[in-house]
Amino acid sequence: MVSSVRAKLRMTSRSRIVFVLGAVILISLYVYHINIIHTYRPPDISEIRVSDELVTIAKAIKQKHGFVVLQFLNSGFLTLTKNWICNVECFSILPKTIFITTDVDAYRGLAEWKDDLNVILLEYGTKHEMTYGEVIYYYFGLFRVKIMNQLLQRNFSIFETEADATWFDDPLEYFAQSSVDMVVMQNKGKHCQHCMVNGGFLYINATHTSQRMWNELTRQLTEKMKGYRNQEGWRNIGMAGSEQVFLSDIIETEKSANIQWLPVERFVSGLWYTNKEIRSHTQPIVILNNHVLGNAQKIERAKLWGHWSLSADNIRCRHDNCHKDIVKI
């Protein structure tokens, strides 16, 4: 009798300890989270340089293919990137692609997943998810612009891509084969007068004109983002730091530049998912999964539309990962 009461008491004090420990852990996680959100400042951008390793890999790819495909990611974007890799396995794009990862988890997540990918690590910024509009998102954009510009000034032509997209065919077959400075995609998907380019899907031919334009873009964007240096990283600043806005203005100003605008019926933005009319007028080669905020939403939407090529455990590519036959209506 007495011993069973003691046992009960011991149990209660043990569960008390568990409860208190749990509460302490939860509170520390919460404080940690608040600290990340509210005290995180964008890291310094002035010392950003391409690495020797990046240039060496880029040279080897350029020698074989004439240009390099670039894709930038942190670990917040890892699952979307793996999905894209599964999606494009049926095209000849991966051997031309360099994945520039900005944290160790993203680097390992790709390099240890498939050992024939070109993956390099250039540490920058946060490993957490970033969303369009946030200071930290635009700093990441500026980091990307700087690296791209440094490669461009070394005469590397660049096809910049992003993982939140579904490819139904190799877009390169639709690029002009003669003398362009840049191939760009319209961000909205309508015919327009003052079009906004998409910052995540463009081909830059390394010409004097494109090199001048990208020097100008880098200069303007660096100047703009200086003003946000001491801001909270996750503060939303609307479109203020958007390289798409700056690049679109530069394209309008550079009358002599030879720009190929990809047809809006074949290269469509994420409005395709929400706008029935756009769907009825288009035969997409590429659909960007943009005009939606947050990676969870992007993933959910892709899955809903059958545009998801990664297995449920995020480890393997689905056997039906090539969408070639889906939208070729």
Give me the residues that bind ligand NAG (CB under 6 A), please.
154-155, 176, 178-180, 205, 207
What's CA 193's distance to the chain center, in Å?
27
Q: CB of 172: closest distance to ligand NAG in angstroms?
A: 9
| Least distance between ligand NAG and beta carbon 258 (Å) | 8
**Is the CB of 4 or the CB of 179 nearer to ligand NAG?**
179
Please state, in angstroms and rounded to a whole number, the distance separating the CA atoms of residues 260 and 242: 21
CB of 178 to ligand NAG, least distance (A): 5
Angle formed at CA 191 by CA 253 and CA 300, multiple of 5 degrees: 105
Contacts 24+ apart (CB under 8 A), 221-226: 221/141, 221/142, 221/145, 221/246, 222/45, 222/142, 222/146, 225/42, 225/45, 225/138, 225/139, 225/142
Q: Match 């899955």 to its residue by tokens.
A: 303
CB of 155 to ligand NAG, least distance (A): 4
Minimum CB separation of residue 154 from ligand NAG in Å reads: 5
Task: Please give the DSSP secondary-structure letter assigned to residue 127.
Answer: S
166 versus 205: smaller Cβ distance to ligand NAG = 205
CA angle 63, 66, 68 (to 5 degrees): 95
Q: Of 155 and 314, which has the nearer Cβ to ligand NAG? A: 155
**178 vs 230 by CB, closer to ligand NAG:** 178
Question: Which of 160, 164 has the CB closer to ligand NAG?
Answer: 160
Residue 70 phi/psi, 5-degree rounding, is -120, 140
H helical segments located in the chain? 2-39, 52-65, 78-88, 104-111, 135-153, 208-226, 243-253, 271-274, 276-280, 295-304
Q: Report which DSSP code applies to 317.
A: B
Q: Could you give the CA distance from residue 322 to residue 96 in angstroms, rounded to a whole number?
A: 18
Question: Least CB distance from residue 205 to ligand NAG, whole Å?
Answer: 4
Nearest approach, Cβ of residue 211 and ligand NAG (Å): 8
When the beta carbons of 204 and 299 are compared against ligand NAG, the nearer one is 204
Considering beta carbons, is residue 222 or 258 the nearer one to ligand NAG? 258
Between residues 101 and 218, which has the closer beta carbon with respect to ligand NAG?
218
Q: How far is CA 238 from the centre of its chain?
A: 18
List 267's β-bridge partners, or say none: 286
Shortest Å, Cβ 207 to ligand NAG = 4
